[in-house]
Chains A and B, each alone.
Chain A
Amino acid sequence: MTPAPSTVPGVRVGVLATGAAAAAHAAAWESAGAGGVVLLADFANRTAEVVGVGREATAHVAAFLERVDLVDARTRSKDAAAVVTAAAAAGRPSLCGWGLVETMEEAQAVADAFADRGVPLLAAGLRWVPALAAAWAAVAEGRIGQPAVLRLSLRSSPPVPGGTGKAPSLIAEQMNPALDFMRWVAGPVTSVQTVATNEGPAFALAVLEHGGGAISHVEASWADSSPQLRTELEIAGSKGLLTFCSDGDELVRWQSRRAGPLAISAHGTLEVAALGSLANWAGGSHDAGSPWQWLDSFRLGLAARQSAAQPGPIRLAASAVRRP
């Protein structure tokens, strides 16, 4: 593994500022030392107005892309797919989540836009979190032998405070990065079965079969009361076991008599992911961010959503994705 830098000097990052999450993303990039954060903001949107306070912003896509080196398109927006397609045309690498588009056809169009121009499409997933990237590397190096059974849990409160969220959104936004990580570690997925809530808090469980024989369990939850994303990973292989839990990332525990116990993390999850993605991008390691991997993971997330709406598993062919 290439050691991650402690900051991201000089890189100008453009953030699609269309929701509350954009504020957290912008702050994470700033904290990670980005050379500047520019918002693409529709100021008719009240949230964007709040996020934009004190930050450079524009409502025009061309002007936005002129001012940035990298686009962060992890937030949902009805125009996000068009913006990243424009980013691809302008040669701007983009960090894309899986809530960007709804259908396989739309996802294929986005992937094609990047692939056709040779512009990196960075899958905005857990593979950028250093501990998880190290777990992937440990597996790739054969430290635990052949992966047999994997578990990954992502839990937080709903993205909109006071709401519950809906399972399809949870699967697209929270489970899809986990599915991408499992596919990255254990190889192509041949079946997915998902169970999810229809009422109450958004919560979903998925069971995967991988082509190499491994099986995976993924939990995605917006049922917690804390907005801090809790990540728990376990990979059991023929020669050993890897475990990780973000519960242990509090470097400082502050017992305040006024505010009660306060845990202070070294970095927030978004900031860690921002650092990791930039470190890999700056280091020229674009393989984990190819448009085809992003597209394969979108297809997996789509299958997970479809499975949640029916009793049985969804079978996946080796790949339905056009390769370069």
Chain B
Amino acid sequence: MRIGLLGIAHPHAINYLTNLRVAGADIVGIHDRDAERGLRWAGEHSVAFVPEAERLLAERLDGVVVCSETVYHVELVREAAAAGVGILCEKPLGVRLADSQEIVEVCSRAGVTLMTAFPMRFHPAVKRVRDIIATGGLGTLRALTGNNQGIIPLQQGAWFLDPALAGGGAIMDHVVHLADIFCWAVSSPPEAVYAVANRILYADEAAVETCGLMTMTFANGVFASIDCSWSRPVTYPTWGEAAFSAVGDAGTVDVDLTQPRLAQYGGEPAVSWLAHGASINQAMIDEFLMALQERRAPAVTGRDGAIATAIAVAAKESVARREVVAVPALFDLSEGAAS
């Protein structure tokens, strides 16, 4: 498969490049709107740099991975869709709800594959929990609560702290993963969101919220909460946390994606939890390439990304209005998988 990268601003770009190479993809080149940054990155990772996105897209690509600053997703997806190239887009899909909707619509109109980069969906424990819920293992599902905190992305991408480029702070960065998993597990449209936030942490460095908590309700009566805070100190042993619990009439289930922990004491940093086991990024990239090859909808669609982004945008609005905010009904969830 011939693959290009559109934008390398997101720190996941390097992970995805490695995953694509492991999967045997032919990395045709990368484009970045910041030519100096793009050239340096391309040199460091032994890939060709193409100054214009249009030129890279003309290279008979099968797919692209969009890893630019969030605000540029929509224009890059628009170009890729026009070129008939399948797309894996980093999350959140857009900085505004309208951007996310346009991303889904242009791909749908062009008939190209659109996948949202939600690697947690590919964690075996997450899939197992979803199966337990879907097959009635918990009885009637009542509630979910999860936390997806992280270290503030000061080093890898200062643009995360620029609301114009990222659309917000911790809420836009971290709500979407669990929001997507919860929508997947609940199989009912999200209806409303209530959120609170502050920027006590890194008040001097960030103009965006650095801590956030939200509750949400679904049409079928299930409710949930998400902690999306950048509340891990920079000395934390790993990137952050991802854990959630589900409560049903017949039981509860808990999953913590940072367990079991392989700890290293000593060195730099002083304590680390080392990654081990199968890579969820690899599983996600493999699925993207398979979906392109088999000309089918991917396991995680653009619609999934748009719904999760709509929840994050509603959470931001709730913080601003200090009240419960309705999540717009973007799609009929009973339609089944599509772009």
Known A149-B213, A311-B192; further 8 A-B contacts with Cβ < 8 A: A149-B231, A193-B215, A195-B143, A203-B143, A213-B198, A215-B213, A236-B211, A312-B323
The answer on a CB contact under 8 Å between B227 and A217 is yes
If A148-B231, A197-B143, A207-B213 touch, whether A217 touches B249 (CB-CB below 8 Å) is no
Distance between B272 CB and nearest chain A CB, rounded to angstroms: 16
Chain A nearest CB from B15 CB (Å) reads 25
Q: Which residues of B contact A209 (CB under 8 A)?
A: 196
A281 CB to nearest chain B CB (Å) = 34
Q: B142 near A236 (CB under 8 angstroms)?
A: no
* Shortest beta-carbon distance from B336 to chain A in Å: 28
Interface status of B1 (Cβ within 8 A of chain A): no
B180-206 near A? 1/0 per residue, CB < 8 Å: 000000000000101111101101000
Q: Which residues of A contact B324 (CB under 8 A)?
A: 193, 311-313
Please count the residue pairs between chain A and chain B whose beta carbons lie under 8 angstroms apart in the complex: 115
Closest residue of B by beta carbon distance from A217: B213
Chain A positions within 8 Å of B229 at CB level: 148-149, 236
- Is A9 interfacial (CB 8 A cutoff)? no
Q: How far is the CA of A266 from the CA of B227 in the complex (A)?
A: 31
The docked-state distance in angstroms from the alpha carbon of A191 to that of B215 is 14
Closest B residue to A311 by CB, please name it.
Answer: B324
Q: Does A187 interact with chain B (Cβ within 8 Å)?
A: no
Contact assessment for A201 and B194 in the assembled complex, using a CB-CB cutoff below 8 Å: no
B251 on the A face (CB < 8 A): yes
**Which of A148, A197, A207 interacts with B198 by CB under 8 Å?**
A148
- B236 is an interface residue with CB less than 8 A from chain A: yes
| A199 with B142, Cβ < 8 A, contacts A149-B227, A205-B215, A312-B194 known | yes
Inter-chain contacts of B196 with A (CB < 8 A): 191, 193, 207-209, 215
A-B contact pairs, 27 of them (CB 8 A): A148-B200, A149-B198, A149-B211, A149-B231, A193-B196, A195-B215, A195-B217, A195-B223, A197-B142, A200-B140, A200-B249, A201-B248, A203-B142, A205-B215, A205-B223, A207-B196, A207-B213, A214-B198, A215-B196, A215-B197, A215-B211, A223-B142, A223-B251, A236-B229, A238-B200, A241-B232, A241-B233
Q: Which A residues from 155 to 205 make CB contacts under 8 A with B?
A: 191, 193, 195, 197-201, 203, 205
Chain B residues with CB under 8 A of A312: 194, 323-324
A269 at the interface (CB under 8 A from B): no
Q: Which of A195, A236, A240 contacts B225 (CB 8 A)?
A: A195
Is B247 in contact with A148, judged by CB distance below 8 angstroms? no
Asked if B18 is at the interface of the complex by the 8 Å CB criterion, the answer is no
Assembly CA distance A221 to B203 (angstroms): 34
Q: Is the interface of B mostly helix, strand, loop or mixed?
A: strand
Q: Which of A207, A216, A237 contacts B215 (CB 8 A)?
A: A207
The 3 closest A-B pairs by CB, nearest first: A236-B231, A148-B200, A149-B211
**Nearest chain A residue, comparing its CB with the CB of B232:** A241
- Interface residues as binary, B217-247 with A (CB distance below 8 Å gives 1, 0 otherwise): 1000101010101011100100000000001
Contact status A148-B201, CB under 8 Å: yes
Number of interface residues of B (CB under 8 A): 40
Cα distance A148–B211 in the bound complex, in angstroms: 7
* CB closest residue in chain A, given B216: A195
Docked pose: A237 CA to B200 CA in angstroms: 8
Is the Cβ of A224 less than 8 Å from the Cβ of B252? yes
Tell me the bound Cα distance from A149 to B223 in angstroms. 21
Given A146-B200, A205-B143, A215-B211: A151 in contact with B227 (beta carbons within 8 A): yes
Inter-chain CA distance A185–B211, complex, in Å, is 17
Residue A296 is within 8 A (CB to CB) of chain B in the complex:
no
Among candidates B201, B203, B221, B247, residue contacting A203 with C-beta atoms closer than 8 Å: B247
CA distance A241 to B252 in the complex (A): 28
Q: Determine which of B142, B221, B231, B232 lies in contact with A201 in the assembled complex, contact meaning CB atoms within 8 Å.
A: B142
B176 within 8 Å of A by Cβ?
no
Residue B214 at the A interface, CB < 8 A? yes
Q: Tell me if B281 counts as interface (CB < 8 A to partner A).
A: no
Cβ of A225 within 8 Å of any chain B Cβ, yes or no, is: yes
The reply to whether B233 and A240 contact each other, CB–CB distance below 8 Å, is: yes
Contacts of A225 in B (CB 8 A): 251-252
CB distance from A171 to the nearest CB of B (A): 14
Q: Which residues of chain B are near A215, meaning CB under 8 Å?
A: 196-198, 211-213
Rounded to whole angstroms, the CA-CA distance of A205 and B142 in the bound complex is 12
Q: Which residues of B contact A207 (CB under 8 A)?
A: 194-196, 213-215, 225
User: When the two chains form their complex, are residues B200 and A201 in contact, meaning their CB atoms are under 8 A apart?
Assistant: no
- Nearest Cβ on chain A to B187's Cβ, whole angstroms: 17
Taking a contact as CB atoms under 8 Å apart, the answer to whether A148 and B210 are in contact is: yes
Tell me the bound Cα distance from A147 to B227 in angstroms: 15
Once the chains bind, are B142 and A200 in contact (CB under 8 Å)? yes
In the complex, chain B residues whose CB is within 8 Å of the CB of A201: 142, 247-249
Q: In the complex, are the beta carbons of B252 and A193 less than 8 A apart?
A: no
Let me know if B147 is at the binding interface, CB within 8 A: yes
Query: What are the residues of chain A within 8 A of B143 when measuring CB–CB?
Result: 195, 197, 203, 205
Query: Does B145 have its Cβ within 8 Å of any Cβ on chain A?
Result: yes
Q: How far is the CA of A223 from the CA of B147 in the complex (A)?
A: 19
Is A72 positioned at the interface, with any CB of B under 8 Å from its CB?
A: no
Q: Are A200 and B225 in contact (CB under 8 A)?
A: no
Is A219 on the interface with B (CB-CB < 8 A)? yes
Residues of chain A contacted by B212 (CB below 8 angstroms) = 215
| Residue in B145, B200, B217 whose beta carbon sits within 8 Å of that of A214 in the complex | B200
Closest residue on chain A to residue B251 by CB atoms: A225
CA A217 – CA B212 in complex, angstroms?
10
Q: What residues on B are CB-neighbors of A224 within 8 Å?
A: 252
B233 neighbours in A (Cβ, 8 Å): 240-241
Query: Distance in Å from the Cβ of A17 to the closest Cβ of chain B?
Result: 31
Chain B residue with minimal CB distance to A193? B194
B198 touches A205 (CB 8 A): no
Complex Cα spacing A19 to B215, Å: 34
Question: Is the beta-carbon distance between B247 and A223 smaller than 8 angstroms?
Answer: yes
- B residues 246-292 near A (Cβ < 8 Å) are 247-249, 251-252
Residues of B within 8 A of A240 (CB): 233
Return A304 CB to nearest CB of chain B, in Å: 12
